[in-house]
Amino acid sequence: QVQLVESGGGLVQAGGSLRLSCAASGSIFSINAVGWYRQAPGNERELVAAITSGGSTNYADSVKGRFTISRDNAKNTLYLQMNSLKPEDTAVYYCNADVTVVINTPAQRTVFRRDYWGQGTQVTVSS
Protein backbone atom coordinates (compact mmCIF):
# COMPACT_ATOMS: atom_id res chain seq x y z
CA GLN A 1 0.00 0.00 0.00
CA VAL A 2 2.67 2.49 1.11
CA GLN A 3 6.44 2.18 0.98
CA LEU A 4 9.01 4.32 2.79
CA VAL A 5 12.56 4.24 1.44
CA GLU A 6 15.38 5.89 3.38
CA SER A 7 18.69 7.00 1.91
CA GLY A 8 21.67 9.13 2.83
CA GLY A 9 23.25 7.12 5.62
CA GLY A 10 26.93 6.31 5.73
CA LEU A 11 30.22 6.68 7.56
CA VAL A 12 31.31 10.14 8.68
CA GLN A 13 33.89 11.55 11.08
CA ALA A 14 32.84 13.26 14.27
CA GLY A 15 31.88 16.84 13.56
CA GLY A 16 30.70 16.01 10.07
CA SER A 17 27.26 16.15 8.49
CA LEU A 18 24.83 13.85 6.76
CA ARG A 19 21.41 14.38 5.23
CA LEU A 20 18.90 11.56 5.40
CA SER A 21 15.93 11.32 3.05
CA CYS A 22 12.79 9.23 3.26
CA ALA A 23 10.61 8.98 0.18
CA ALA A 24 7.04 7.74 0.51
CA SER A 25 5.15 6.14 -2.36
CA GLY A 26 1.99 4.14 -2.93
CA SER A 27 -1.69 4.70 -2.29
CA ILE A 28 -1.22 7.92 -0.32
CA PHE A 29 -4.11 10.26 0.30
CA SER A 30 -2.21 12.35 2.82
CA ILE A 31 0.78 12.09 5.14
CA ASN A 32 0.12 13.29 8.65
CA ALA A 33 2.85 13.38 11.31
CA VAL A 34 6.22 11.96 10.30
CA GLY A 35 9.37 11.33 12.25
CA TRP A 36 12.87 9.90 12.44
CA TYR A 37 13.79 7.26 15.00
CA ARG A 38 17.08 5.55 15.68
CA GLN A 39 18.23 2.35 17.29
CA ALA A 40 21.76 1.63 18.43
CA PRO A 41 22.91 -1.94 19.26
CA GLY A 42 21.55 -3.00 22.64
CA ASN A 43 19.28 0.03 22.88
CA GLU A 44 15.59 0.56 22.31
CA ARG A 45 14.37 2.53 19.33
CA GLU A 46 14.09 6.20 20.25
CA LEU A 47 12.49 9.24 18.69
CA VAL A 48 14.99 11.65 17.17
CA ALA A 49 12.70 14.24 15.60
CA ALA A 50 9.15 14.60 14.40
CA ILE A 51 7.18 17.06 12.30
CA THR A 52 3.43 17.46 11.92
CA SER A 53 1.55 18.13 8.72
CA GLY A 54 1.40 21.74 9.82
CA GLY A 55 5.14 22.00 10.25
CA SER A 56 5.45 21.87 14.03
CA THR A 57 8.64 20.11 15.10
CA ASN A 58 9.83 18.18 18.11
CA TYR A 59 13.39 17.03 18.86
CA ALA A 60 15.09 14.75 21.32
CA ASP A 61 17.19 16.78 23.75
CA SER A 62 20.34 15.00 22.56
CA VAL A 63 20.00 16.37 19.01
CA LYS A 64 18.54 19.85 19.58
CA GLY A 65 20.56 22.50 17.82
CA ARG A 66 22.37 19.93 15.65
CA PHE A 67 19.62 18.15 13.69
CA THR A 68 16.86 19.67 11.57
CA ILE A 69 13.80 17.80 10.36
CA SER A 70 11.88 18.99 7.31
CA ARG A 71 9.38 17.71 4.79
CA ASP A 72 8.45 18.35 1.18
CA ASN A 73 4.76 17.58 0.94
CA ALA A 74 4.70 17.89 -2.84
CA LYS A 75 7.32 15.15 -3.11
CA ASN A 76 6.09 13.07 -0.14
CA THR A 77 9.63 13.21 1.19
CA LEU A 78 11.01 13.64 4.69
CA TYR A 79 14.50 14.89 5.49
CA LEU A 80 16.84 14.92 8.46
CA GLN A 81 19.84 17.25 8.27
CA MET A 82 22.39 16.10 10.82
CA ASN A 83 25.27 18.44 11.69
CA SER A 84 28.03 18.27 14.29
CA LEU A 85 27.66 14.51 14.42
CA LYS A 86 28.98 12.64 17.44
CA PRO A 87 29.98 8.98 17.86
CA GLU A 88 26.92 8.51 20.08
CA ASP A 89 24.72 9.34 17.07
CA THR A 90 25.77 6.03 15.54
CA ALA A 91 22.64 3.95 14.95
CA VAL A 92 20.23 2.65 12.36
CA TYR A 93 17.88 5.49 11.50
CA TYR A 94 14.27 4.75 10.57
CA CYS A 95 11.58 7.01 9.19
CA ASN A 96 8.01 6.65 10.33
CA ALA A 97 4.89 8.09 8.78
CA ASP A 98 1.26 8.29 9.82
CA VAL A 99 -0.45 7.92 6.45
CA THR A 100 -4.03 8.19 5.29
CA VAL A 101 -4.34 5.56 2.58
CA VAL A 102 -6.94 5.49 -0.17
CA ILE A 103 -7.56 2.44 -2.32
CA ASN A 104 -9.94 2.74 -5.24
CA THR A 105 -11.43 -0.25 -6.99
CA PRO A 106 -14.37 -0.44 -9.40
CA ALA A 107 -16.44 -1.77 -6.52
CA GLN A 108 -15.51 0.59 -3.72
CA ARG A 109 -13.28 3.24 -2.25
CA THR A 110 -11.45 2.32 0.95
CA VAL A 111 -9.84 4.90 3.20
CA PHE A 112 -7.89 4.11 6.35
CA ARG A 113 -5.06 5.48 8.44
CA ARG A 114 -1.97 3.50 9.34
CA ASP A 115 1.60 3.80 10.61
CA TYR A 116 4.45 2.82 8.27
CA TRP A 117 8.17 2.29 8.80
CA GLY A 118 11.11 2.40 6.43
CA GLN A 119 13.74 -0.31 6.28
CA GLY A 120 16.38 1.78 8.05
CA THR A 121 19.68 3.33 7.04
CA GLN A 122 22.94 2.95 8.96
CA VAL A 123 24.70 6.04 10.26
CA THR A 124 28.18 5.51 11.69
CA VAL A 125 30.16 8.36 13.25
CA SER A 126 33.82 7.69 13.89
CA SER A 127 35.78 9.49 16.59
Tens place of pLDDT per residue across the chain (127 aa): 899 999 999 999 999 999 999 999 998 888 999 999 999 999 999 999 999 999 999 999 999 999 999 999 999 999 999 999 999 999 999 999 999 999 888 899 999 999 999 999 999 999 9
Alpha helices, DSSP H only, in the chain? none
**DSSP 8-class letter at 24:** E
**DSSP 8-class letter at 63:** G
Task: Check if the beta carbon of residue 31 is closer than 8 Å to that of residue 115.
Answer: no
**DSSP 8-class letter at 27:** S
Main-chain phi, psi angles of 88, to 5 degrees: -75, -5
SS3 61: helix
Q: What is the pLDDT of residues 47-79, one digit of tens each?
A: 999 999 999 999 999 999 999 999 999 999 999
Cα–Cα distance between 4 and 123 in angstroms, integer? Answer: 17
The identity of residue 62, as a single letter, is S
